[in-house]
Amino acid sequence: MKGYIVTARDCIQFAEQNNMLLKIKKEVDPCYEIASITKAFDGGPVLLFENIKGYPGWKVLANLMGNRDIIARYFDTTKEKLSEMFIESVASPVAPLITEDAPCQENVLDKNIDILKTLPVMTHTPMDIGPVITGGVVMVKYPEEMAGDDLSFNLSYHRLYAGRASDWLTLASLYNRHFLDVLHYHKKRGEEYPLTINIGLSPSLNILAAGGTLPQIRPKGKDDLGVAGALQGSPVRICKARTVDAFCLADAEIVLEGKILYGERVYEYDKESQKTERPPYFFPEFMGYEGMAGKAFKFQVTAITHRHSPYYVSQMADSVESSNLGAVVSEASVYNACKNLAPDSFINCHILNCMRGILGVVIQCKTNHILETGISQGLISAAFGAFRNLKFVVVVDEDVDIYDPEDVLWALTLRTKPDRDINIIKKAGLGDLFETRWSVDTTVPFGNKWRAVRPKYKEVDIREILESPEMEKAVSLMSESSRRYARRHIIKKEP
């Protein structure tokens, strides 16, 4: 299947063929309504809004990456194998392909630009400052001396506010982005900083754009398009922008071309009309809080291009989708570090949705001999070195399901002695959130494993015992954790 899903439209077709697509045909408003509906189905099906108030001919696509199993199916693998696939893609990149046949430029608007009249940009909650572009992937070309060649690109997400003016955006970037390295390179030389913002991309490009926080596996200068091409099994197609000296993603649904005016930092809100001392709320951020508005770069839009019958793709920061996007690269980096350290003991790792893509990880390992005592602590150290901003590490034994939060909490509750198994590292980062790191080692000491054996029930085929309606009723009354346990340990076939 690799090579098949290389655009957002391929995702729609795949989701529909596999009963993973929910079409919403009634008119919906990009102000509040789309966000509320998307949040209601967080972690579930791909959503296609077919009737957008005020934007005839446009459709909105959401929740493309909202479910880890769906993401894995895009790449014809399982969620357990995603990290290995990503590591292989890093080792064997596929160079991008320059083309003049660019669907993203079927329609070009380079005069009288009005972003909000053109695009159905969402406002998420009544608390928010206004309309925010959340699915825009910033694409910049690395300088040759930074990357080692003249065709390496960085992809990244940033906070893009469209409510200050008709033809420019505010662009707020976190400090842990290679995007800023390129910006400072151009600024130091007094050069322009042209770039494109690409909306509506393939899963592989979205994953690379999220990219974790400066992971070992994705160093500065590494061509994100090459990794994405290997991941999807087909070269990423790029083309020259129409109005600036930059490249864009040829199969994107929408492209905003323009330049960063790095000499001009602007507020994301009208400071003069602000009535309170504190800044206004911006929109729901990935940590689950309302973010605060502040200062940002000014991005002057010189053109908007888009495909015929375009899909505006919206991604919510406060969502399972956001966690998934950040987690794929972060997990791969932890996987790579831990596997290199202890190939016989390390099994796998997973970032639970509540860990928000970059803040925590659960590591699964197996102690094979008493001489491997302490390997769990080594794996914790390896994980903390795998990518910046990792805050929390939990290590569990092989009998704990790292994809089930309740099973992980079971291990934390039953297999932890706080005075022995919890480690705290102070002054490890910036700010209240990142200045302290901590870990919990829930692994059972090798000599005591015989005391901590979990029950193993006999497998049964429920379909031979219950009729389908009865079985479905029974399953509907079970908690999600109970269903997970039954699927893991008892039921031969999926109900």
Residue-wise pLDDT tens digits, 339-371: 999 999 999 999 999 999 999 999 999 998 888
Q: Is 80 exceeded by the pLDDT of residue 492?
A: no
**Where residue 472 falls among pLDDT bands split at 50, 70, 90?**
confident
Q: Minimum mean pLDDT among 43-57, 384-398, 425-439: which range?
A: 425-439
Q: Is 60 exceeded by the pLDDT of residue 3?
A: no
Q: Mean pLDDT: which of 2-16, 157-171, 471-485 is highest?
A: 157-171
Q: Minimum mean pLDDT among 18-22, 213-217, 452-456: which range?
A: 213-217
Tell me what the mean pLDDT of segment 189-210 comes to: 95
- Whole-number mean pLDDT of the chain? 92
pLDDT tens, 99-133? 999 999 999 999 999 999 999 999 999 999 999 99
pLDDT given for residue 228 in this prediction: 96
Which residues neighbour 263 within 8 Å (Cβ) at sequence distance 6 or greater?
A: none
| pLDDT > 90: percent of the chain | 76
pLDDT given for residue 445 in this prediction: 93
pLDDT tens, 233-261? 999 999 999 999 999 999 999 999 999 99
The verdict on pTM exceeding 0.95 is: no
> Higher-confidence residue: 388 or 231?
231
pLDDT given for residue 213 in this prediction: 66
Tokens of 449: 């494993």
**Where residue 263 falls among pLDDT bands split at 50, 70, 90?**
confident
Q: Is 90 exceeded by the pLDDT of residue 217?
A: no
Q: Is 70 exceeded by the pLDDT of residue 493?
A: no
Q: What does the radius of gyration of the chain's CA atoms come to, in whole angstroms?
A: 24
pLDDT given for residue 74 in this prediction: 95
| pLDDT > 70: percent of the chain | 97
The phi-psi region of residue 356 (left if phi > 0; otherwise alpha if psi is between -120 and 50; otherwise beta) is left
Q: Is 70 exceeded by the pLDDT of residue 214?
A: no
